[in-house]
Amino acid sequence: MADVLNGSAGRKPGEQSTSELVQRASEQITLLVRDEFALAKAELAEKGKHAGIGIGLFGGGGVLALYGVGALIATGIIALSLVLPLWLAALIVTVVLFAVAGVLALLGKKQVTQAVPPGPEAAIESVKADVDEVKHAVKDRSRA
């Protein structure tokens, strides 16, 4: 900012020509935009690094949770085997797991079919309506 107040070749700001002032402003705006882009780039790199580490840790937690679910299922089979033969306990738990998986798959399929087509149809229709409105306004003005 102090550069703007310093005159060219030792002249006071009031003595500078308009073209000199416009040139200095253009140079300073270019420098400012370049510095802002560099700052944004550095900030995004730092955030990207943290996001990558976080995603990796989240994935590791998900894998361990999957192993925990497997251990819980095994515990359920063992507990059920106290009152039933082991093979029957395992079969019952397997059938229940497949039934739950089937229900979840059907619910997921229903959600996916509601998402198709993936385009933003409401936004597209709104833009088409806006274009039609502008066309009509242009036609009305050309008639008047």
Three-state SS for 85? coil
Can you give the residue ranges of every domain in the chain?
A: 1-56
Task: Say how far apart CA 3 and CA 5 lie, in whole Å.
Answer: 5
How confident is the model over 92-129, as pLDDT tens digits? 999 999 999 999 999 999 998 887 777 777 788 888 88
Give the CA-trace dihedral at 79, 80, 86, 91, to 10 degrees.
-130
Mean pLDDT by 10 residues, the chain (144 residues): 50 75 89 89 88 93 96 96 96 96 94 78 82 81 72
